[in-house]
Amino acid sequence: MAINLSVNLNKVALLRNSRGAHNPSPHVAGVTCLDAGAYGLTLHWRADNRHTREDDVRDLRALCAARGAEFNLEGDARPELVALADELAVTQFTLVPVRPGEITSDHGWDLPRDHDVVAPIIDRLEARGVRTAIFVDANPGMMKAAAATGVSRVEIYTEPFASAWGTPRLKTELDLVKRTAESAVEHGLAVNCGHDLNLRNTPLLAREVPEIVEASIGHALIADALYIGLAEAVRRYVRACRGDAVDAPVTL
C-alpha cells in the first residue's frame, strides 16, 4: 500500500520572504504539486513567521478544499494556531512541540508528561471534525500514552532513520520506526511520518513499514526541485512513496 505524499511548502514561503515580495508563490507551487500527483499540502506556521504566514494557511486551505485535496496544518500549542485550525476546519492538524531557537523540529512530545498540553487541543479539534496527529519520536513504548490523548494519528519523527543511511545504525533505526508503527496500530492509531525523507530513503520506508499512510516531505523535495523542476520532483516522490527505486538528482 502506497504512502500518501503531502508536500510541505514552507521552504517556498521562506524563499519568498527572503526577498520581501510575492515570488515564489506558495499558491502556485501548491497548484503544481497537486497537478503532479501530490495527495495533499502541508504548512507549519511558526510564531516568528519566518516562512509560512497566516495568509498562506488560509490560501492553501482554500486551494485544497477547491481541489478535493488534504490540507495538513502543523504547529505548536499556541492559542492563535489552534484557533485557526478550528476556524478553517483543516483536514488534519499535526501538533508539534517547539523548542525556542530551534532551526527545525527535532523532537516529539514526551508522553504521558505532556498529556495535559496535548489532550485538550486534540479534544477541541476532533470535536470540530479535524483529524489530529501528534509528532512523536520512534518509541513503541509511548504509543499507549499517545492513544490516551484521544489523537487519531501519530507522526513518527524520522530524522534518526534518515541520518543512519549508509551506516551500520540503519537496520536498528528502521526497526525502531517499524516497531513504533506496529505499536501505534495496535493501540488504534494511524501512522504518518516525516523529517529528512528523500528519494533515497523513502522507498525503503514505504516497503518495510506498510503501516505508514502519509508522509510530509518538504526540504529535500524542494531542494531536488531546484535541479529537476517542481512537478518532476513531486512525480518522483510519489513513486518513492510507492516503494519504487527512483533516481535522485544529487547524491551527497
CATH number assigned to the domain comprising residue 215: 3.20.20.70
Q: Tens of pLDDT along 53-103?
A: 999 999 999 999 999 999 999 999 999 999 999 999 999 999 999 877 666
The percent of residues in the chain predicted with pLDDT above 90, rounded, is: 90
Residue 104 has pLDDT above 80, yes or no: no
First CA to last CA distance, the chain: 29
Give dist(CA 125, CA 143) in Å, integer.
Answer: 20
Separation in Å, CA 7 to CA 26, 96, 142, 151, 186:
11, 17, 27, 22, 28
pLDDT for position 64:
98
Residue 198 lies in a domain: yes
Residue 102 lies in a domain: yes
Give the containing element (helix H, strand E) for 95: strand 92-95
Separation in Å, CA 210 to CA 3, 60, 156, 219, 242:
8, 29, 13, 23, 10
Query: Number of structural domains, the chain?
Result: 1
Give dist(CA 139, CA 136) in Å, integer.
Answer: 8
Residue 86 lies in a domain: yes
In the set 155, 173, 195, 211, the catalytic residue is 195
Residue 249 lies in a domain: no
Residue 130 lies in a domain: yes
Domain that holds residue 22: 4-240
Give the alpha-carbon dihedral of 64, 66, 67, 72, to 10 degrees. Answer: 10
Label residue 251 by pLDDT band (50, 70, 90): low
Residue 146 lies in a domain: yes
Residue 27: active-site member: no
pTM of the model: 0.94
Residue 107: active-site member: no
Residue 252 lies in a domain: no
In the set 44, 51, 70, 214, the catalytic residue is 44
Residue 73 lies in a domain: yes
In degrees rounded to 5, what are phi and psi of residue 17?
Answer: -65, -30
pLDDT for position 105:
67
Residue 252 has pLDDT above 90, yes or no: no
pLDDT for position 159:
96
Residue 74: active-site member: yes
In the set 51, 70, 74, 211, the catalytic residue is 74
Cα 164 to its chain centre, rounded Å, is 20
